A and B are shown apart, each in its own frame.
Chain A
Amino acid sequence: SYELTQPPSVSVSPGQTARITCSGDALPKQYAYWYQQKPGQAPVLVIYKDSERPSGIPERFSGSSSGTTVTLTISGVQAEDEADYYCQSADSSGTSVVFGGGTKLTVL
């Protein structure tokens, strides 16, 4: 079955830039989405259609796509950004929804 691959963890100091990658063979054909999940809470959509930001999401969150890899970038990381981040997309036919394994962002 189709998989999306994320690094298990990323660490950055406050004010630095965090980059979280997600790789998958179908990403050139399918949009990617990013969710932020804090402990005990439901996921929140932070990026849709590779690089669009929903209303209410801070401008420091951005997304990009290049070939089989998409990247979530958080500029000027704040302590409140510490969370798990999941990418989501679909298989090449669009039949199945797929989530990546998640990346734990630690703000040092």
Chain B
Amino acid sequence: QITLKESGPTLVKPTQTLTLTCTFSGFSLSTSGVGVGWIRQPPGKALEWLALIYWNDDKRYSPSLKSRLTITKDTSKNQVVLTMTNMDPVDTATYYCAHGVLVVVAAHFDYWGQGTLVTVSS
């Protein structure tokens, strides 16, 4: 049974750095073809993909946010960490992590965490 859970601050101030942790179980991030992705959703708006890390440490980032994002994994702890710098109120959103499956050259997400709401406000 695959499960994922996001953790981190619920409130951050503008210009601060956000650090989110995804803790998962039921799979290994050392298995070929597996990845973990981060997706966010501002209130009432659409899903937006942020970043993805694969079993082989290949990292992919949204082109529009690449300069602000860093994704890392700790396979022994079954955790993936996302950092986003220079937070702004427009970054207020529910942040999801999800189990990724590589098909040919790209991934999709078959299991999702419950999401964590991050509010950016002074």
Contacts and interface: CB of A to CB of B under 8 A. Distances in A.
Nearest to B108: A33
A20 to B, nearest CB: 14
A42 B4 CA distance: 11
Contacts of B106: 30-31, 89-90, 94, 97
Contact of B46 (A44, A96, A102): A102
A21 B95 CA distance: 26
Contacts of B96: 42-43
Contact of B49 (A31, A44, A45, A99): A99
A89 B104 CA distance: 12
Interface of A: 1, 30-31, 33, 35, 37, 42-45, 48-49, 54, 86, 88-90, 93-102
Given A45-B108, A90-B106, 19 more contacts: A1-B64, A35-B47, A42-B114, A45-B109, A45-B110, A49-B103, A54-B110, A86-B46, A86-B47, A88-B109, A90-B105, A90-B107, A93-B105, A95-B60, A96-B62, A97-B52, A99-B49, A100-B46, A102-B46
